[in-house]
Every structure is written in structure tokens, then in C-alpha cells.
Amino acid sequence: MTAKISYADVEVGTELPAQTFPVTRATLVQYAGASGDFNPIHWNERFAKEVGLPDVIAHGMFTMAEAVRVVTDWVGDPGAVVEYGVRFTRPVVVPDDDKGAVIEVSGKVAAKLDDNTVRVDLTATSAGQKVLGASRAVVRLA
């Protein structure tokens, strides 16, 4: 599979379709099982509060993975992402209720690079606060 987006058709400033990703306690349990990360800050409210967190928090790698979905859905090929990195700025707090939390992600082409690649800068927030900083993906386009 190759990228569906053409390098020639993309300009700096092109906005990717924004997405929202719900996160519940059940989501965290499923991710813990898949990743093997059973740290109690991700499922035990009492423990999370004892170590100074406001409540149970989402796994950082889960948050990172949800954010890059904006890029992979836009480009149409996860293999087109050649580089991806973030800085974790705040945790995604996941309350124990029917709603949980929501991660809101938007992206914009920040630079056209060599070899048909572009840099996409992502903004990820939850509860109105930025949860990822310096979130950038380099993507090879068609």
C-alpha cells in the first residue's frame, strides 16, 4: 500500500481532518492487556492519587498512538510515517464514569522536506489542556 496523498498537491499549512478519540477505563484495561503495561496508575484510582496524580491516567504510548492516527488516516498508509516523536506535557486523566475522557487531535503540514516527505505538526488536547508537545511526524507522500 502506498500513500494516497500526492506530494505535489500538498502545501505548507494544509490542515488534516481533526479527530476525537474517547478513552474510558475499559479502554485502558484493553490497552494494558495488549501492551503488557499494568502500572497501577492506569487502573487503580487510589494508587494514582497516592502518587500525586489527580486520578487514573491514560498510558502515554496510548495517547501517542491515538494522536498519530490523524496522520495515518489522512495519508492512507501507516507505513508512510517514517518518523514520529512527541514530548509528554500533561497526562490524560480518565475519570471512572460513563464518559471517560476525550483526546482531541488536529494536524497541519508544517514543512515540505526532501524525497517527497512532509513534516506534520500535531496538537493533542484533553479537557482543554495540551497533552502532547513537540508532536511531529515525517510522512512520505506519493
Name the β-bridge partners of 139: 81, 118
Contacts of 140 (CB under 8 A, 6+ apart): 3, 80, 82, 115, 116, 117
Which residue has 514520529 as its cell numbers? 84
| Amino acid code (one letter) for 26 | A
Domains belonging to the chain, first-starting first, are 7-140 (3.10.129.10)
**pTM for the full model?**
0.94
Name the β-bridge partners of 93: 57
Burial of 48 (0-12, 13-18, 19+ CB in 10 A): buried
Q: What is the pLDDT along the chain (142 residues), one digit of tens a residue?
A: 667 899 999 999 999 999 999 999 999 999 999 999 999 999 999 999 999 999 999 999 999 999 999 999 999 999 999 999 999 999 999 999 989 999 999 999 999 999 999 999 999 999 999 999 999 999 999 9
